[in-house]
Structure 1
Amino acid sequence: MDTNLEEISSSSLSTKIVLYSFWQSSCSWRVRFALNLKGLHYEYKAVDLTKGEQFSPEFERLNPLHFVPVLTDGDLIVSDSFAILLYLEEKYPQHPLLPVDAKLKALNLQVASIVSSSLQPLHMLGVLKYIEGKVGLEERQLWAEQHMKKGFIALENLLKKFPCRYATGDEICLADVFLAPQISVAIERFNINMSEFPTLTKVYEAYKILPAFQSSSPQRQPDAIV
């Protein structure tokens, strides 16, 4: 896999699926997980956020917001993990991530929205660096913990009535694709005590044994620093 950010060219755009990713990005992890679940082969292009590669002119052509992930599929460019996942769901229906049942579909979209809108953006690297610069490292950690736990309380209450293997059933769905990286980041990066969240803990243990989850994990990516 190509692990360097290169200038966008017609040859790179003609590649079937290319994912611009950073190994520690939970948003990128969602997409890697989904691609693996759907059995889709893709070229990995690393964007090193710590070196500011997201601000390069080449990457700005892909996403003027300078965020990963970005997915190209032929001449199509899609940024934002939620948009990418919905595109993959429609274009590549194998291993569907959204249930046919309208209520379960709505629940999956609600869980995904909580993670992508009300939880993950509040502990983005840029946000945490800003808080640390203003009020210090301790407040940075407290900020992350407060908002992560608030989101987890909502998710726990939403999902505890589903006594099944994964978040909303016995098949991996969109909710799981969003939850898996988020829970891992909470545990590994922010040392969140998950004893308050038995439902989330249960489903995370189920994710950990899945080959699609393991191969999409940060430490297994070609740009990982471990």
Structure 2
Amino acid sequence: MSKQRFVAAGVAAVALAGLGGTAFALQSQGQSQGQSQSQGPGGDRGAARPAAAPERPAGTETTGPRTSSVVRVVRPYEPVEIGQGALMGLLPEGRQNYVVSWGGPEAFRESVEAAKGIVGDDIRPNTISGGYHFDDGEVLFTGAFRTDVVPGRIAVRTVDGTFDAKMLRLPGDPGWGAYHLDAGRTDALSSDVVVTAYAPDGGVIDTLTMTFPRTPRTPGTP
């Protein structure tokens, strides 16, 4: 069973529920790409393998830069189901401080308590971060936004199409939030994935490109 967790910059704590994983952090540099690598708990570095049988990701496929105000206001520490057994929660402590955890409510509570003592990851103004969790051919994209205005839309473009992510933010005007997209069983990681945050008027706030290692071809094949 292949389990790889590529965790967005801005994640203060990730509960791996005893499973090995690889943690990557990706943060845009003002509509450019930035990437750093760090060893995940009990995990090994390695290339993500694309799924063998691509399917259409969950969500609404879009073809242009239209906006759709799909932002859910959540309470601090509220567990939100985001697909593939994962829970996401936003913390008022720190900077862009949120958790993505696997293993149920207890693992989520432990992650939140651990994250309360962490400063968080301060991403640049008007930028987004991004990462993903890959498990047996299913992909879950997550990330954070730090913007002057709440994005009207965050779109994730994969080989399967362009899909609107769901967004979460805390009450009031915290100046940041998180997003998630359960892409399901997909071949998304076989090519670059582009995440774009749009302003309510349709203008581009920031773009992040995730570049994945290509699976080596067998010698003699096209």
State the TM bucket, normalised to the shorter chain.
Answer: under 0.3
TM-score with structure 1 length normalisation?
0.26
TM-score with structure 2 length normalisation?
0.26
The structure where strand makes up a greater share of residues is 2
The structure where helix makes up a greater share of residues is 1
- Structure number with greater CO (CA < 8 Å, separation at least 6) is 2
